Amino acid sequence: MRRGRRLGVDIGSARIGVATCDPDGLIATPVETVAAGDAAVARLAALAEEHDVIEIVVGLPYSLSGREGPAAATVREAVGALMEATERPVRLVDERLSTVTAAQQLRAGGTKAKKQRPVIDQAAAVVILQNALEGERMRGTPPGQLIDPPTKEWHD
């Protein structure tokens, strides 16, 4: 398991959930919800800097059949903008059912559906990042697909 904090990101059309983890990569925790829009990429880059992360783990939405749809194209576009704004490597990981899992966890913790809206995106980012961390710990290799920045090459 590589040592260092990571930033977990769940990109949605209205809101972007953000999570981070401890330097040992054991536990993912929520950070904030960023409003989607023109200022979102700058805020995500600032959070990566503030938390001194070694990489950014972004959930890529696949359909249940495993295909990429319009939402995945939106995420890939956002990742391109994010890579221009930060020098951190970005990894795309499968985020299927992360929001459903997050909602179930919030309900199990006693959060009523009406109160979930402000935190569901952060909870989904936690699920995405925690799954990536556990996958890396089990397989011994970094999770998902590494996206190379256009001006620099990053290696595993």
- Assign residue 103 the CATH number of its domain: 3.30.420.140
Say if 154 falls within a structural domain.
no
What lies within 8 Å, CB to CB, of 87 at 6+ separation is: 149, 152
Residue 99 located in a structural domain: yes
Do the domain assignments include residue 15? yes
Mind listing the pLDDT tens digit of every residue in the chain (156 residues)?
A: 899 999 999 999 899 999 999 999 999 999 999 999 999 999 999 999 999 999 999 999 988 888 888 889 999 999 999 999 998 999 999 987 777 787 788 788 887 777 777 788 999 999 999 999 999 999 999 999 998 765 444 444
Helix (H) or strand (E) segment spanning residue 57: strand 55-60
Total domains present in the chain: 1
Structural domain includes residue 1: no
pLDDT of residue 51: 97
d(CA 148, CA 142): 14
Domain membership flag for residue 98:
yes
Question: Which DSSP letter does residue 100 get?
Answer: H
3 in helix, strand or coil?
A: coil
Q: How far apart are CA 57 and CA 128, in angstroms?
A: 8
Domain membership of residue 118 (yes or no) is yes
Name the pairing type of β-strands 28-35 and 145-147. Answer: unpaired
Domain limits at 57? 6-145
- 132 lies in a domain? yes
Asked whether residue 21 is assigned to any structural domain, the reply reads yes
